[in-house]
Chain A
Amino acid sequence: MRVGLSFLIRLAVLLALATFLARPEWFASLLRPLTENGAPPVYVQASLLSLTISHLLMVFAATIASTLVAVGLAILVTRESGREFLPLSRSLVNIGQTFPPVAVLALAVPMLGFGTWPTLIALFLYGLLPIFENTLTGLTTLPGPVMEAARGTGMTGWQRLIKVELPLAFPLILGGIRLSIVISLATATIGSTVAARTLGEVIIAGLQSNNLAFILQGGVVVAALAVLIYDTLVFAERLAAQRTGLNRTA
């Protein structure tokens, strides 16, 4: 019954979000009390829907790239031939995690100029870390007897990776992707300070013109997207974890 209720709440959030993005003017009267001196309650310089799509596209493109590279690297450093890189890659991940997203973004600008690219690169780099870390955890904490059995049944190294290691690490990898997406959704808003087309544009416009309605609508749309994507991925992880029977989630 509780599952049903929380599902209904999420459905309602999704519907409200879709309505707001398609027809923001319907909400104008709701937002008007937050404005001063007759400022516009709804952001109209660009369509909210197109900003949202551009925001999501950036996050997904960066996450796909991060996933490919991070999972690839994690596989590499857990093979016999790449094991020498394991201590180093662990430390680099730890160091990387201390880099504030704003700093990553700011430091990408001198190399890439303003616009979409520095944001994409910052999202990509910042997204690598949770996925790499989770994949590494997944691949290095496989149950000993299972790995022993995989060798004992005569699987080659490649077959062990494809048929046993990756499937068992999958829920954890998914957990890393989830963390990565949620961080990227928020970091992308800061991308607007370097002129990327994201929902951050609305928030920054609000900050500059002291318009609380703008700040609120930008922030709430991003938060709602994050919550919905987060919950969907948690659900997917549970399904995947149930299938592996190991109960390993991030």
Chain B
Amino acid sequence: MRFGLNRIDRVGVVVALIAAYGLVAPFALFRANRIVQGEGRSLFSALPPSLGAILLVLSAIAIVMALLRLPLFLKLLASLVMLAVLAFAIGNAAGFLTPEGNNYARVSPGSGFWLLSAAFALLATDCLARLRPPPWMRIAILTAIIAAIAFVLASGLWDGLSILKEYSSRADTFWLEAGRHVTLALGSLAVAAVVGIPLGILCHRVEPARSAILNLLNIVQTIPSIALFGILIGPLSWVAANVPGAADLGIRGIGMAPAFLALFLYSLLPMVANTVGGLAGVPAEANDAARGVGMTDRQRLTQVELPLAFPVILTGIRIVLVQNIGLATIAALIGGGGFGVFVFQGLGQTAMDLVLLGAVPTVTMAFAAAVILDAIVELVAPANAGSGTGRKEATA
């Protein structure tokens, strides 16, 4: 009996419980139109009987595999296969449930689908966390998953799902807002890096400037994002109205300009703080040696300090990028565009599919950015991996 218990994987128990509940919960939601309450459809009423049976059997096999102490790559494979099967099944459910020629009906994934997906995503995450794949492998896995999702989207398999129906009626705006979102997040990051890194070097070299600048930036971080976006409307309208040529450059009181400026201000603290932290973390012996061999201050900075501080500075960039992708959603409140447009429109119309159309790409982008930059940070700092003194503070 003890032998038997030892062969059970405890994480597998959690996965199995979630998945088992997922199998009995409604697999898909059917709604007569986009804003009424949905009614749940179970696995067998949402799918053709043969497909429902296949999904049930495959789930059972995967659950048993999750429970046993099998080689991790085998479990990883099982969880990825299950996620692919679920992706296929939910696309099928949409076609199966939508009456022929009905354009108002909406089919969306139900709690059963989400729980099953969560269970197997959890299993995949656990396997990956225990396997500790090297950085390039993580980027490869991410790329493969994104390619797979892109393929499914292009194949039209999911076209019957409510979130894609929302997309198809807004395809043009979607890509326009996506472009704005990326511009806001990446553009403000670029400017923050160009300003923040030199500012960080200044803080490192000039003691009195350090606490003053860092305190000021800390206070900026405490201002709630929706307020900061709003507060900047005033000064920018004044600039647009009174500085010749400013309006021609696109500077206006509302729109992208205040959003861009607000994101830039939020980005400064992690940039400056990580630059200061990285430079402060340079070993005193390295600095001594650099002085000892006769380097000038400038040579010491470019040849010793900055290369050694680089991984920490890169960690700052990672924090800023993930934070900006999330914060850029707020820009929609002041007419700055971005995926937030769909989130807030959706909240206003109580159309949750529209909320998801904005939220899902945002979360995906933030997640992908985190995976890629974490991998890069690890690649540039193989020797002192994990020594980053990154401040992982987020702002709402």
B330 to chain A: closest CB distance in Å? Answer: 6
Q: Would you call B396 and A223 a contact (CB within 8 A)?
A: no
0/1 string, A166-187, CB within 8 A of B gives 1: 0000000000000100110111
Nearest A residue (CB) for B9: A84
Residues of B within 8 Å of A203, CB to CB, are 224, 226-227, 230
0/1 string, A184-224, CB within 8 A of B gives 1: 01111110011000011001101100101001101110110
Residues of B within 8 Å of A186, CB to CB, are 222-225, 395-396
Residues of B within 8 Å of A144, CB to CB, are none
| B residues 328-360 touching A (CB-CB < 8 Å) | 329-330, 333-334, 340, 343-344, 346-347, 350, 352, 355-356, 358-359
Nearest B residue (CB) for A202: B227
B316 at the interface (CB under 8 A from A): no
Q: Which of B14, B129, B222, B234 contacts A223 (CB 8 A)?
A: B222
Nearest B residue (CB) for A93: B392
Nearest A residue (CB) for B394: A183
B231 at the interface (CB under 8 A from A): yes
CA distance A70 to B348 in the complex (A): 33
Given known A-B contacts A98-B363, A212-B230, A110 and B224 have beta carbons under 8 A apart: no
CA distance A99 to B10 in the complex (A): 26
Nearest A residue (CB) for B128: A91
B11 at the interface (CB under 8 A from A): yes
Q: Which of A92, A106, A226 contacts B359 (CB 8 A)?
A: A106
Q: Would you call B230 and A227 a contact (CB within 8 A)?
A: no
Q: Would you call B362 and A100 a contact (CB within 8 A)?
A: yes
Q: Would you call B9 and A98 a contact (CB within 8 A)?
A: no
Q: Which of A88, A133, A183, A216 contacts B231 (CB 8 A)?
A: A216
B159 at the interface (CB under 8 A from A): no
B322 at the interface (CB under 8 A from A): yes
Q: Would you call B394 and A215 a contact (CB within 8 A)?
A: no
0/1 string, A81-108, CB within 8 A of B gives 1: 0101101101110110111111100110
B120 to chain A: closest CB distance in Å? Answer: 13
| B residues 1-51 touching A (CB-CB < 8 Å) | 9-11, 14
Q: Would you call B363 and A190 a contact (CB within 8 A)?
A: no
Q: Which of A92, A102, A110 contacts B329 (CB 8 A)?
A: A102
B282 to chain A: closest CB distance in Å? Answer: 20
Interface residue count for B (Cβ, 8 Å)? 53
> How would you classify the secondary structure of chain B's contact residues: helix, strand, loop or mixed?
helix
Given known A-B contacts A85-B10, A109-B355, A183-B394, A99 and B222 have beta carbons under 8 A apart: no
> How would you classify the secondary structure of chain A's contact residues: helix, strand, loop or mixed?
helix
Q: Would you call B326 and A103 a contact (CB within 8 A)?
A: yes
Q: Would you call B227 and A218 a contact (CB within 8 A)?
A: yes
Q: Would you call A102 and B340 a contact (CB within 8 A)?
A: yes
A126 to chain B: closest CB distance in Å? Answer: 8
B219 at the interface (CB under 8 A from A): yes
B29 to chain A: closest CB distance in Å? Answer: 10
Residues of A within 8 Å of B234, CB to CB, are 34, 212
B214 at the interface (CB under 8 A from A): no
Q: Would you call B222 and A182 a contact (CB within 8 A)?
A: yes
Residues of B within 8 Å of A99, CB to CB, are 326, 363, 366
Residues of A within 8 Å of B333, CB to CB, are 193, 204, 207
Q: Would you call A106 and B11 a contact (CB within 8 A)?
A: no
Nearest B residue (CB) for A89: B129
0/1 string, A222-249, CB within 8 A of B gives 1: 1100110010000000000000000000
Residues of B within 8 Å of A188, CB to CB, are 396
A225 to chain B: closest CB distance in Å? Answer: 9
Q: Would you call B227 and A189 a contact (CB within 8 A)?
A: yes
Given known A-B contacts A100-B327, A183-B395, A190-B396, A219 and B230 have beta carbons under 8 A apart: yes
Q: Would you call A98 and B366 a contact (CB within 8 A)?
A: yes
| A residues 24-83 touching B (CB-CB < 8 Å) | 34, 82
CA distance A160 to B328 in the complex (A): 46
Nearest B residue (CB) for A189: B224
CA distance A190 to B11 in the complex (A): 35
Q: Would you call A207 and B367 a contact (CB within 8 A)?
A: no
Nearest A residue (CB) for B227: A219
CA distance A215 to B224 in the complex (A): 10
Q: Would you call B227 and A222 a contact (CB within 8 A)?
A: yes
Known: A109-B347, A193-B333, A218-B227. 5 other contacts (CB 8 A): A92-B125, A110-B355, A203-B224, A203-B226, A207-B226
Which A residues contact B (CB, under 8 angstroms)? 34, 82, 84-85, 87-88, 90-92, 94-95, 97-103, 106-107, 109-110, 114, 130, 133, 179, 182-183, 185-190, 193-194, 199-200, 203-204, 206-207, 210, 212, 215-216, 218-220, 222-223, 226-227, 230
